[in-house]
Amino acid sequence: MLWNKWMRLILACLLCLGWAHNGLAQRNEEARLRKAIQVVEDLGDIPETSIPPALMEKAYGIAIIPGVIKIGLGLGGRWGKGILVVREDSVWSPPLFLSLGGGSVGWQFGVQSTDIVLIFRNRESIEAFLDGNFTLGVDASIAAGPVGRHVGAKTDVEFRSEIYSYSKSRGLFAGIALEGASLDIDDDANAAFYGKSLDPEDILEGAVDRIPDTVHQLHNAMKQTEETEDYGAGHPDAGT
């Protein structure tokens, strides 16, 4: 009898710990998504030093990885977690959670945190990522992205790379070299956020049972960015 009582108590504690872990994991993903939303909102703040609207208009998918940690102690490395959304018929998908990692060569020293934005220009590069073991510059061509709202609109610049990469610091965007970095699907984060394990393709196709409010906030932020890119009447850059 005493043994059964202790077993029931231990089982109850384990269940409580499991519920607490799941709740904490979901809050972590919510926090990650809110940080990504802030990065999206920053896209339209300073058009002259942001990702070109002409490139955003051609984007099939966008990966946002806030707070990427870069450490240099002789050799260097980057680690971070973020989200990916894709666009079909002008509608953005729910976020797919992912992670970024990889080293870099050359003498480096110090620790730095920055936000990373990757612009995927076609479906093929997204499909290559979903297949797994995806390395930037190997499985899809990547280039440091240009900045400025006039790029591509009043010049002859052609966007030929499959992916363009940016870093954001203090609200300003700049192209960054990320060849050799790897992208991986964060299955644990996706399961925690959506309440169960899902295929990455199903998430990007919108086949999810629950859409948290933060996802709607993300979509609204993406929509506001697209409207800002139009520079319509009332925008300070309209008519320039």
Q: Are 51 and 147 in contact (CB under 8 A)?
A: yes
Which SS3 state, helix, strand or coil, does residue 170 take? coil
In a domain, 6, yes or no: no
In a domain, 235, yes or no: no
In a domain, 13, yes or no: no
- The model scores a pTM over 0.75: yes
Domain count, the chain: 1
Closest of 99, 150, 127, 118 to residue 200, by C-alpha = 127
DSSP helix, strand, coil percent of the chain (3-state; round to 5) = 35, 30, 30
In a domain, 1, yes or no: no
Which SS3 state, helix, strand or coil, does residue 70 take? strand
Distance CA 191, CA 67 (A): 22
Written as six digits, the tokens of 43 are: 């896209």
In a domain, 96, yes or no: yes
pLDDT digits (tens), the chain, 240 positions:
444 444 444 434 433 433 333 333 446 899 999 999 999 888 766 666 678 888 888 899 999 999 888 766 555 678 899 999 999 988 999 999 999 998 554 444 556 788 999 999 999 999 999 998 899 999 999 998 888 765 654 443 567 889 999 988 766 788 888 888 999 999 999 999 999 999 999 999 999 998 889 999 999 998 877 665 544 433 334 433
Helix axes 2-42, 187-194, angle to 10 degrees: 100
Q: Are 198 and 206 in contact (CB under 8 A)?
A: no
Range of the domain at 44: 30-230
In a domain, 9, yes or no: no
Which SS3 state, helix, strand or coil, does residue 20 take? helix
In a domain, 123, yes or no: yes
Distance CA 181, CA 104 (A): 8
In a domain, 19, yes or no: no
Strands 172-175 and 134-135: unpaired
